[in-house]
Every structure is written in structure tokens, then in C-alpha cells.
Structure 1
């Protein structure tokens, strides 16, 4: 049975921390692939700053050089709140020959108790969490931990830098940097 990592997120925008996290988990757990799943309406955040299509294209362009990374548009096509439980159940139904692992950062590990139907979700998928600076990884739920090099980059920091007209080059994969520039994303008047 193929082992697949599911990496959901707003990816607003995708940054190098996301890429490092995905590769570290793939290697540590010997996963065949990592599927990046851009959310439509994340239940724990406000809506994204740019469209789902732009976020998906940034992911698609960034992962194109890694044949172990795929993009899954399931949540964007569904068009409602992006509840992990719905996504996992639908993927398990579509791909019964695959075993899924849901990848989350330390910030999400600490908030698992507030997720939509957490108890049911724990029965559906195994969680793999990664350390993140500033978070303790504290949870009562079974989450396996993968250590990654500490890297303090966040999508919100990138958006703030863009708002202040500061560079984000080298904080995001090169395709994301050029996509943002080409489309004029995150620019404020």
C-alpha cells in the first residue's frame, strides 16, 4: 500500500519553509508522495489574500521540479469550508489502495482539539507534526513528530513584507517569487 503525505494549508503564499517541511516528512516517513492541498476557506483563518487559483498555481509551479510532490485541488473544487475530515474521507474513498498521513506544523498540533470533529478525524488518518519555533508541540492527541531545521518564515510575514515594499526573494521558491511579481499579487496601493 502506497504511503502518501497530505499537506493542507492556505499557502498564501507557499514559502521555502513549506517545501523543507514536506521533504523532511517525506524522507523521515519514507512516503511515496506528498500531496499539497490548498484550502478554499480554512475554518481556523480568515479568507486568503489571493484567489485559490493563484495559490494553487504558485504551489504547482514550485513543486514541478520534484516528482514526489503533487498538488490536489479537491478543497478548491469543493468550494466550501475546508474541513480536513471531509477531505480525508473523500480521498480515502477515491484511493482505497493508499495510506494517508496528514502533515501539520507545531502551531496546528497545539490547536487540534478545536478542529472539526477531532475524535472522528483521529480515527480516519495518522497525523505527523513538525516542530515550529515558538510552539511547544503540546497535545493530547496521537501525533508523530518529525524534527526539521528551525526556520522562522511564515506566509503572514511574507505578506507583511510585501505590504512594506520589502523583498521576499529567497523566502519563497523562485517560481513563487516570479509568479507574485508577474501577477502583481500582495501589492497594496
Structure 2
């Protein structure tokens, strides 16, 4: 059993787990909101699908993760796609991004509530936060089983209250739960 978060995630990525080929829906469907140039960060990037997507859009991209295995895999994928990005192996909870550093920050399927004010502070003026992660109201077993890593109803809105909310989407368990955007919440916010 791994002793640290880094060891745990290294084992998961070494076994080929948690790698997504598609960028998060919040980024994919609202890419038209991205600036034509700027510096972007994918925080807790894992396999880096969001970082690769952003690099493909011509942005200067940084990708950070605690797992050296995830970062190594991301380097391979970036090289195969002839994309350039800067990577960093770090524990983002212990070493968050500096203030006023990024035009775009993307966070998907990662939740450390205490880190969100620092993420917001890392945005430059008019910078955008694209955030998508799991919620507690769910219709299947995808995502973490521990509610510590799932958002309560409308919690992401409250955590990002200092931002101008461009988009918020959370369907919960309303209506036909076999259709729509379920088990997750997404937010796009702008620092002003």
C-alpha cells in the first residue's frame, strides 16, 4: 500500500489508470471563450488531456501533477503530437501557483477546497477558470466514493464567489437522470 499521495498516483498511472483522451467537457464545449494567446495551467493534470488541448490552441501551457508517471506519460503524448508544454512534478496543495501567474487555469476531477482561493488568486486580471468535477448527487458509481472529494449542491458556485461567473452547470438528480450532464458540476469564472 502506498504511503504518500505521490506513491499512490504513481502506482495508478503506472498501471494505465485515470488517463482521459478527451479534454473536460467544460473546456471542450466552451473553447471559444479562450483567448488567442496567453499562459495556461492545467492543475493536477494527470494524463494531461486538457493541457494537450490548450497547447493545440496555441497557448503557452503548463501542466502540474504530483505523479512523475503521469508527467512522463504526458511528455510522450505531447511529443507524439508535436506539442510543446512545460511540466512540473509537484504537490499543488503544498506548492500552489503564484499570484497573478496565468490567463487560464483548468481543473478537472480534482478537489481541494482550501486550494480554490489560491487558484483564483493565481489568475491574472480577466483570467478564466475552467473547473469541472464530481458532485455528491449521482446516478452511478463513477468518481470517488469519499464525499470529501465530491461537491455538495451548488458548492462550486460558493467556492468561486469572488469570480464573475460566466457559466455554471449542475443538473443533480432532476428529471430523467439517464440523460444530460450528470454526476458533475462545471464552472467558468473570470477574475476581474
Q: After TM superposition, is the score higher than 0.5?
A: no
* Bigger RCO (CA 8 Å, 6+ sep): 1
- Taking structure 1 as the reference length, what is the TM-score of the superposition? 0.40
Higher strand share: 2
Q: Give the TM-score of the pair, scaled to structure 2.
A: 0.40
Larger helix proportion of the pair:
1
